[in-house]
Structure 1
Amino acid sequence: MSSKVAIVTGASQGIGRSTAVRLAQDFDSLVLVARNREKLNETAAEVKAAGAKAIVLDLDLAESGAAQKVVDEALGAFGRIDALLNIAGAVPQIDLFDMTDEQWDKGLALKLHGARRLTVAAWPALKAASGSVVMMSGNSALFPKAPYAAVGTINAAIVALAKAFSDRGIADGVQVNSVLPGPVMTGRRQSYLEHWAPLHNMTVEEATARFPAEAGISRYGQPEEIAELMAFLVSPAAKWMTGSTLRMDGGEVKSV
């Protein structure tokens, strides 16, 4: 896949960072997008060590003009876009009755509208390249609960958005899928456990050990495992797969 170009958002940490490093095996050039430039530079160093080119864009995709700037920079640097991986988007895990309008709007602006705007902006280039889009959702899309209402609601919207884009993509030759990870041990999850543990009179170690059993899984997933699925979805092997929603969750979802 030499000379092909991928945009990875949320590339400064967690699944986004692991995905960027994994894609360096298959893509010649990567456009890395997130808000933290220092961490983006660390990702870029790993990408370059793996043999790919990289540019970093420290932008907030919640801002309406950021999406077009990403596309303009990608095309200016590399001349094409073959894959877009919409991974950015931290949504606060706050109870349904405690969330403010500002917190709802913040989650929607980055994860949902950021992905929507960037996909629209990149679409002409993706169409020209017969490219691929992956939208990052999460298992909470399938079982939204009051303690993390915004996460479940926005993740469900991401799945619907990906399905709508995939419908347009059939005519335009652009492949679009969504991914629903289960509990993955990222820095963000570690921070959540550090917050959650004292509220339930536990140590962080106890909380960390307890969660997989309560979720009905054997262990946490690793960002590198999700990255492998992302890489598959933008590879030639998955080219006929579009409009699909793929779970990778260690068996957390028990329904058929």
Structure 2
Amino acid sequence: MTVTPHGRIQDKVALITGAASGIGRATAERFAAEGARLALTDLNTDALDELVSQFEKSGVPVISVPADVTSEADIKRVVHETMKHFGRIDILVANAGVIPEADLATATADLWDHTMAVDARGMFLSCKYAAAEMVHAGQGAIVCLSSISAFAGQKGQAVYGPAKFVASGITKHLAIDLADKGVRVNAVAPGTIDTPAVAKMDADAIRKVVEMHPMGRMGKPAEIASAILFLASDDASFITGAVLPVDGGYLAQ
């Protein structure tokens, strides 16, 4: 890994949820290369430890705080440990989420509750407690992970799609709530991205969804990380409340 001497987010403290794999990991790697100091959290402690070890060997300032984003106590602890170690939180990437496949007939109430707990409650709690520290400091940037499923109906997304509508809603409402407090809130809405979570989905379903993307392929986690970096950086200093599609043209149709 090459760390840029004067990166776009040099010395900023970035808290990233769901950091151990997929988009979260790619974002952590890109942020590290751009000079950030990292606080990383995930439930997958083995993958998180491996990533942190990689950063430590490269001289990246990093801490890991394993946590369940659905737990208010856990999120409070993550924010507390980040503040204790780094003294501030400049950036939050609210990335942790699950991607269940279910239509209305097969979806269960328990699946709905679990998905909303991780994708919606977890995002709300992460934003709530990180934003409190940002407001105190008078500055900060939050980037939430939404999805093309928050814009367009899709087969087999009767649970995941509504959860991502919540992600976009949180983004827009918090952006207005925090605009006069120096805190920007934006989101990215990825198309189908080649992540471990997507790899577990039905292969035929993935093929059909990929065919709906005009660019004819899945996106790469690093491509989403680039968009997250832009929204988190000072290059986006007059942008708040935006939900940026990064989808190979999917929503342009």
CA distance in 1, matches of 2:22, 2:14: 18
How far apart are the structure 2 equivalents of 1:253 and 1:106?
27
TM-score (ref. length: structure 2): 0.90
| 1:65 equivalenced with 2:77 (yes/no) | no
SS at match of 2:177: helix
> Cα distance, 1:146 vs. partner?
4.6
SS at match of 1:35: coil
Q: Which runs of 5 or more residues in structure 1 are unaligned?
A: 201-206
Task: Identify unmatched segments of 5+ residues in structure 2.
Answer: 1-8
Identity %: 32
**Matches of 2:185 and 2:206, distance apart in 1:** 34
Q: CA deviation at 1:26?
A: 2.8
Please give the per-residue CA displacement for 1:61-93, whole angstroms capped at 9, x wherever unaligned. Answer: 112211111110100111100000000011311
What is aligned with 2:6? Answer: none
Per the TM alignment, residue 51 of structure 1 is displaced from its structure 2 partner at its CA by 3.9
Per mean C-alpha deviation after superposition, the further-off stretch among 214-223 and 182-191 is 214-223
1:142 pairs with one of 142, 151, 165: 151
Q: In 1, are the aligned partners of 2:19 and 2:96 still within 8 Å (CA)?
A: yes
**What is the match of residue 116 of structure 2?**
108
Does 2:199 correspond to 1:190?
yes
SS in 2 for 1:229: helix
Compute the RMSD of aligned alpha carbons: 1.7
Partner residue in 1 for 2:90: 82
Are 1:20 and 1:43, in contact at CA under 8 Å, matched by a contact in 2? no
Residue 175 of structure 1 corresponds to which residue in structure 2?
A: 184
- The answer to whether the 8 A contact 1:182-1:221 is kept is yes
Residue equivalent to 2:162: 153
After TM superposition, give the deviation of residue 111 of structure 1 in Å: 1.2
Deviations 1:199-234 (A, max 9, x none): x6xxxxxx7666522444321110001001111111
CA distance in structure 2 between the aligned counterparts of 1:27 and 1:37, rounded to whole angstroms:
24
- The CA distance in 2 between the partners of 1:165 and 1:209, in whole Å, is 35
Q: 1:50–1:247: structure 2 CA closer, same or farther, 3 Å change rule?
A: farther
Q: Kindly state the Cα deviation for residue 43 of structure 1 after the two structures are TM-superposed.
A: 1.9
